Structure 1
Amino acid sequence: MSERTGVLTLRLAGPLQSWGASSRFARRTTERAPTKSGVLGLLAAAQGRERGADLSDLAALTFAVRLDQPGTRVRDYQTAHHGDTGKSMPVSERFYLSDAVFVAAVEGDESLIDALYAAVRAPTFLPFLGRRSCPPSRPIDLGVHRGGLWRALRAEPWQAAAWFQRRRARERRIALEVIADLAAADGPGDALRDQPLSFDPRHRRYGLREVHSGAVTVANPLSTARRASPPPPPLQHDPMGLLED
């Protein structure tokens, strides 16, 4: 990347989220964290891009997500009928993440990052967390950072709900897992098919990307832990001092 880069951080929080990377037919699964294709789709929608628009500039962004509050995996069943015949369609099994909070970050050219930040603050199409039925519960824009993706993830305060933070009240600092593009991390990685090539509904295409799991440490604002006070210095007592002239 060039020296003139920026990092956009997004808070992804809501009652339900669903980030599929390998859903097929009537079974719609979710990954345990937001996918690159899902977040880039959110950014493309915020800019008002058509589904068949070129995605090469967005796909080139380096992506990472911090797991601030992993949430709980839940399952739902949905039924539907054909509108013209009334015939029942197959039962659809869908999975979601409940009460999850993530911080997603994308790094790239400074001008593109600034344009994306302006778009999420005044989106053309409203954002959703993986599916249209999953709106965010809070504004998603956190800000733009300089100095690299990992530095931005360390700088962003812990975004978990207060009740979740209180569960870790005895800890002054919290280690949070980060799933990042391998290009932004060191060490071996895993393959995930969520590199968007086209959002065209007639022929959606996704490529493989390599991801790496790491961690950053952030402060717990609700910590009740205190540093132990240093012991007072020993008294300098001389029992013979009063007898001296």
Structure 2
Amino acid sequence: MSHYYLLLWLEGPLQSWGHDSRFGRRDTLPFPTQSGVCGILCAALGAGGLQRDMLAQLTSGKWFVRAMPRCNAQPTVPLCDFQMVGSGYDENDPWQLLLIPKTSEGKKAVGGGTKMTYRYYLQDSAFAVAIELPQVLATELSAALAAPVWDLSLGRKTCVPSEFIGQGIFTSLDEAWERSDLLMEQKNRQLRFTVFPSALPEEGEVLTLNDVPLQFGENKRYGDRLVTIVHP
């Protein structure tokens, strides 16, 4: 079976790629997660529900990520957005009552259902993501990204892309990177690091990420993978 590389360009004012968020703190990795990118691809196809078979296909090949900040710009720190969830609702209004967080028994959560959350976002970032896929699937996804069924976002619905995400399919990783190099030059950006899909301790920092989507839907499931962050 022939394999190609689907190239994605993820750029926008804000991005958020959570992989290990707990309770009221929603952190972001400094690069896109596999689960978040699979969410983009499924949204482009209009594929809802569990999608076990689709996710197995999407994650079976090699994934590479390039991070590209603006040239000569000061490093940006993640933006922290403080939010109150579940406050200010009228309990006598049945529609507003539905928005108040509940326990498993249907009662209001501790504190009357009000929760404080801290959500973090990357600012003015751009990433090139190259995904190894069967040719038929790569072609289908490339067409879907050009005319997505559902809205596409960069990790969270509030994170709107400022560039077309789909940048074509290529017969090799080198060809995909040539296209990303052209975009990087046009947009006055520079390569900061590359994320490789394996453990390469002699090359850079090795991370274990629990971001391989096994199924979506109400009860999401994830698996682990090893990646290495390599600086030029």
Scaled to the shorter chain, the TM-score interval is 0.7 to 0.9
Partner of 1:64: 64
Residue 176 of structure 1 and its aligned partner are, at CA, apart by 3.9
The CA deviation at 1:162 is 6.8
1:50 deviation in Å? 1.1
Is residue 81 from structure 1 mapped to residue 86 from structure 2 by the alignment?
Answer: yes
Give yes or no for the alignment of 1:130 onto 2:128.
Answer: no
For residue 155 of structure 1, report the CA deviation from its aligned partner.
4.2
Asked whether the equivalents of residues 71 and 101 of structure 1 are also in contact (C-alpha less than 8 Å), the reply is no
Give, in whole Å, the separation in 1 of the partners of 2:202 and 2:176: 17
CA shift in 2, pair 1:27/1:92, >3 Å:
same
CA distance in 2, matches of 1:184, 1:114: 31
Once the two structures are superposed, the pairs formed by residues 193-232 of structure 1 within 5 Å of their partners are: 193-201=210-218, 203-214=219-230
The question of whether the paired residues in 1 share the 8 Å contact of 2:86 and 2:113 is answered with yes
- Sort the Cα spacing of 1:198 and 1:124 in 2 relative to 1 into closer, same or farther, 3 A: same
Q: Residues 38-117 of structure 1: matches in 2 within 5 Å?
A: 38-54=36-52, 55-69=55-69, 71-81=76-86, 83-85=89-91, 87=112, 89-117=114-142
SS in 2 for 1:91: strand
Shift of 1:73: 1.1
Residues 191-211 of structure 1 deviation map (CA, whole Å, 9 limit, x = unaligned): 11111111122x111110011
For structure 1, which runs of at least 5 residues remain unmatched after alignment?
166-173, 217-245
RCO comparison, higher one (Cα < 8 Å, 6+):
2
| CA pair 19-158 structure 1, distance change in 2 beyond 3 A | farther
SS in 1 for 2:168: strand
* Change in 2 beyond 3 A, CA 1:30/1:158: farther
The aligned residue for residue 143 of structure 1 is 168
Is contact 2:142–2:166 with CA below 8 Å preserved after alignment?
yes
Partner of 2:195: 179
Which SS does the other structure have where 1:10 is aligned? strand
Q: Is the 8 A contact 1:101 1:159 kept in 2?
A: no
Q: Please, what TM-score do these two structures have when normalized by structure 2?
A: 0.78
Per-residue deviation, 1:186: 8.7
Q: Specify the SS of the correspondent of 1:182.
A: coil
Percent pairwise identity: 33
Runs of 4+ displaced beyond 3 Å? 158-165, 183-189
User: Quick one: structure 1 residues 60 and 183, their matched pair in 2 at CA, closer, same or farther if it must change by over 3 Å?
Assistant: farther
TM-score, structure 1 as length reference = 0.74
Q: Which amino acid aligns with 1:109?
A: P
Displacement of 1:190 in angstroms is: 2.5
Name the larger-Rg structure.
1
Residue in 2 that maps onto 1:35: 33
Aligned length: 204
Q: List gaps (5 residues or longer) in structure 2.
A: 70-74, 92-99, 101-111
Q: Does 1:7 align with 2:12?
A: no
Say if 1:118 and 1:66 are closer, same or farther in 2 by CA, change over 3 A: same
1:152 aligns with 2:157: no
Structure 1 residues 117 and 197: CA distance shift in structure 2, 3 A: same
Per-residue CA shift, 1:87-141, capped at 9, x if unaligned?
5611111000011111111111111111110111111111100001111012112
> What letter matches 2:225 in structure 1?
R
